[in-house]
Chains A and B, each alone.
Chain A
Amino acid sequence: MKAIISFYQSSIGKKWIVALTGLVLVGFVTGHMIGNLQVFLGHEALNRYAAFLQGLGELLWVIRGVLAACIIVHIITTVLLWVQNNAAKPQKYAVNNPQAGSIGARTMIVSGLIIICFLVFHILHFTALSIHPEWKLWEDPDGRHDVYSLVIAGFRNPLESLFYLVGVFLLATHLSHGIQSFIQTLGLRSRKIAEPLTTASPYLAGLLFLGYASIPVGVLLAQHLNLPILQPLAH
């Protein structure tokens, strides 16, 4: 226990905690995106996937608990680091002339805290369904909860779509620094595979942005151009 406390108290220990929890969350957002992209395959695929997740029962709550714990530990530790770092350099330079740090790196705390606000809205919107309680009753012809139609109904609201796009954009800028950062922090950057991964980090984040953004953009395009895909079932 003493070893764990002194590890957490050290600067490198905290970095490891941030990196490991971040890694779990990067894994989650990747899987979540791939799962969500099934919306392009129609209501059959997405509703079956949603029913499968709901059918996990207790396991679903274990996964949710682990993710929530990672988010909480990630935030507490980074805020702690942020407070310490501000205290270490109270007086800034008269001329601000950064030579390396990317915009993503410099805005981690801001992007992170806005992402949390977005996350709360997102869970209320599409998981708890507290913003549109009537969505709870929607069912598809197979008797499954019609997640497909409620996703489309949600994104047909341009304001909700815009907020969602801002959220995933900030997530991407956060991860453009975050992905290469955990490689550095977990001590893998000196190895051969790490250098290309570091270069690839902003591209991987961009890919996540495109994947997530394609859904609201697709829904709005399908609505206004009357495309044969992404049309909700009648309720």
Chain B
Amino acid sequence: MSDTINLTLKVWRQPNASTPGKFVEYPAKNIPTDCSFLEMLDIVNETLVAQNIEPVAFDHDCREGICGMCSLVINGVAHGPEKATTTCQLHMRHFKDGDTVYVEPWRAVAFPLIKDLVVDRTAFERIQQAGGYISARNGSAPDSNSVPIPKQNADCAMDAAACIGCGACVAACPNSSAMLFVSAKVSHLALLPQGQPERTRRAVKMVKTMDAEGFGNCTNYYECEAVCPAEIKSSFISMLNREYVFAAAREAVSEI
């Protein structure tokens, strides 16, 4: 029965942002192949606690692949080797007995490290606050289908809305650009009638906040699209490039 595997982990340990970090090697013994990557880390942490070693800090929440809280760059790939899969849904059966696995935090100036594998992703919240919302009317709910939306737009908006805001796009981008995230949020609302009132302001302000937060510039590597667990397409970035220029032009004209 080969239901368990043994791995060698090289985990990034860093007590806080101001202390330099380093890789520390930990054996991961008798790991059931049915457990997820995070459950594997739980098992390793149990053994660390038993040895009186500080457990490895990592982000996690729903462990169902929908909350966007888990992160980790596993052997150089954000969320690990499986396509369209968050780290919490990555199962150990995708690793071989005896593998050495490097585990690193998201690396980007805009995502400062908090501890070990945990980074601060509140820059995404600030981008959302700058324009990732709509003005909804108060009162009773409108009749269903009272606002017609072309099927194509509804589908496309849903594809963009699938973004869980995990930040893998930033982690994978050699420039730490947040364009895939911002493009998903801007496109999602720009495609729907409810998103029209703030459309111009939204594109301009969200891009401005993105730049101010210290994310890099998109140079079309498409690494983001390759690692995105929600399969957000890079064509949304193209859509944002168009959206932003028209919005900036509309804003410039309105100021004259």
Known: A12-B245, A88-B177. A97 touches B216 (CB 8 A): no
CA distance A58 to B80 in the complex (A): 59
- Hey, which chain B residues are within 8 Å of A7, CB to CB? 248, 252
Asked if A12 contacts B223 (CB within 8 A), the reply is no
Complex Cα spacing A15 to B235, Å: 15
A134 → chain B, closest Cβ, in Å?
45
Residues of A within 8 A of B76 (CB): 93-97
CA gap between A195 and B220 in the complex, in Å: 14
Would you call B129 an interface residue if the criterion is a C-beta within 8 Å of the partner chain's C-beta atoms? no
Q: What separation, in Å, do the CA atoms of A25 and B72 have in the docked complex? A: 41
The segment from B50-58, B88-96, B207-215 found at the interface with A is B207-215
Query: What band does the interface of chain B fall in when counting residues whose beta carbon is under 8 Å from A?
Result: 35 or more
Identify the closest chain B residue to A97 (Cβ).
B76
Q: Which of A148-156, A162-170, A178-186, A222-230 contacts B (4 or more CB under 8 A)?
A: A178-186
Residue A91 interfacial (CB < 8 Å): yes
A43–B245 Cα distance when bound, in Å, is 48
Contacts of A190 in B (CB 8 A): 235-236, 238-239
Whether, in the assembled complex, B163 has its beta carbon less than 8 Å from a beta carbon of chain A, the answer is no
* B residues near A96, Cβ cutoff 8 Å: 76
Measured between beta carbons, the chain B residues less than 8 angstroms from A183 are 238
Q: Which stretch, B34-42, B61-69, B102-110, B142-150, touches the partner chain A?
A: B102-110
Contacts of B236 in A (CB 8 A): 190
Contacts A95-B75, A95-B102 known; A100 to B110 CB distance under 8 Å?
no
Contact B110 A88 (CB under 8 A): yes
A88, A98, A184: which contacts B175 (Cβ < 8 A)?
A88
B248 touches A185 (CB 8 A): no
- Nearest-neighbor residue (CB-CB) of A16 within chain B: B245
| Contact indicator B174/A99 (Cβ below 8 Å) | no
Query: How far, in angstroms, from A87 to B172 measured CA to CA in the complex?
Result: 15
- Among residues of A, the one whose C-beta sits closest to the C-beta of B75 is A95
Interface residue A188 (Cβ < 8 Å from any Cβ of B): yes
A64 within 8 A of B: no
Q: Are B107 and A81 in contact (CB under 8 A)?
A: no
Q: Nearest chain-A residue to B252 (Cβ)?
A: A3
Q: Mark B167-181, 1 if CB is under 8 A from A, else 0.
A: 000001111110100
* Contact across chains for B217 and A185 when beta carbons are under 8 A apart: no
| Given the contacts A89-B108, A187-B239, A14 and B251 also touching, CB distance less than 8 Å | no
Across the interface, do B244 and A12 meet the contact criterion of CB distance under 8 Å? yes
Q: From residue B216, how far is it (CB to closest CB) to chain A in Å?
A: 3
B73 neighbours in A (Cβ, 8 Å): 93, 95
A27 at the interface (CB under 8 A from B): no
- Let me know if A39 is at the binding interface, CB within 8 A: no
The stretch that binds B, out of A66-74, A101-109, A115-123, A206-214, is: A101-109
Q: Is the CB of B238 within 8 A of A187?
A: yes
Query: Closest CB of chain B to A91's CB: distance in Å?
Result: 5
* B241/A85 in contact, CB under 8 A: no
Contacts of A105 in B (CB 8 A): 219-221
Known A-B contacts A3-B248, A3-B251, A12-B207; A101 and B243 likewise in contact (beta carbons under 8 Å): no
Which positions 203-255 of chain B face chain A at CB distance < 8 Å?
A: 207-208, 210-211, 214-223, 225-227, 234-245, 248, 251-252, 255
Specify which chain A residues have a CB less than 8 angstroms from the CB of B26 in the assembled complex: none
Q: How far is the CA of A183 from the CA of B222 in the complex (A)?
A: 14
- Which of A92, A97, A105 has most B Cβ within 10 Å? A97
A177: shortest Cβ distance to chain B, in Å?
7
Q: Does A189 contact B (CB under 8 A)?
A: yes
Q: Is A13 an interface residue (CB 8 A)?
A: yes
Q: Which of A90, A99, A186 contacts B77 (CB under 8 A)? A: A99
B225 to chain A, nearest CB (A): 7
A92-B175 Cα distance, complex, nearest whole Å: 10
- 4 further contact pairs, Cβ within 8 A, besides A85-B176, A85-B177: A7-B248, A98-B174, A181-B220, A187-B241
The 10 closest A-B pairs by CB, nearest first: A187-B242, A97-B76, A88-B216, A95-B76, A3-B252, A101-B221, A189-B238, A99-B226, A85-B175, A88-B176
Q: Which residues of B contact A (CB under 8 A)?
A: 10, 23, 73, 75-77, 102, 104, 107-110, 172-177, 179, 207-208, 210-211, 214-223, 225-227, 234-245, 248, 251-252, 255
Q: Which residue numbers of A lie inside 8 Å of B, CB to CB? A: 2-3, 6-7, 9-16, 81, 84-85, 87-101, 105-106, 108, 177, 180-181, 183-190, 194
- What are 9 A-B residue pairs whose CB atoms fall within 8 Å in the complex? A11-B179, A15-B219, A87-B216, A88-B216, A89-B108, A95-B104, A97-B75, A100-B225, A190-B235
